[in-house]
Amino acid sequence: MATVTTINDVNIQAVVGLAQKIQQEPQVAATEWRADVTWHEGFRSSAQIRDFAPVSSDEPKGLGGSDSAPNPVEQLLGALGNCLAVGYAANATAAGIEIRNLQIAVTGDLDLHTFLGLNPGGNAGFESIRAEVSLDSDASPEALADLHEHVVSTSPVGHTLKGAIPVSIQLD
């Protein structure tokens, strides 16, 4: 009889192994992540993250850009959706739940007054963000509700967006 090593194309042993290592050595959980951003011209820039191809950024034409890539606020929405997708895949796998399909639509409301200098001191960020999750699985509604609650309560990007965190931006 074959041993199942993946569910939802997630390496179960890697996830379990990391959790066990962190239980034994809590300091392993303290990680640092980095992105190095280079401005190209206009509103075009790119972020170099690890050894991956650069992630491009631009603004829509209506905001003065050339519309060659998603803008930073769209990337933020995408980061939340991608983080939730990782959470669903990891936690469904840990619970033995197979996902047939997962779609996450993330929408945010942003007023441009402050960004454009028309409301000094106002909120330049999102006023609200909504994520709608469509999850297709054979799991019971109760198991999916538990999975959803767990994913929402443990999402690093979700937690970052929900809470005030120290942000330091220095000019060299």
Please enumerate in sequence order all residues whose Cβ is within 8 A of that of 60, keeping only pairs 6 or more positions apart, or say none.
67, 71
Summarised one tens digit per residue, pLDDT across range 129-148 is 999 999 999 999 999 999 99
Summarised one tens digit per residue, pLDDT across range 62-86 is 999 999 999 999 999 999 999 999 9
Residue 14: inside a domain: no
What's the pTM?
0.93
Q: How many structural domains compose the chain? A: 2
Same-domain status, 100 and 135: yes
CATH number at residue 160: 3.30.300.20
E-strand ranges in the chain read: 6-7, 10-11, 36-41, 44-48, 55-57, 99-110, 126-137
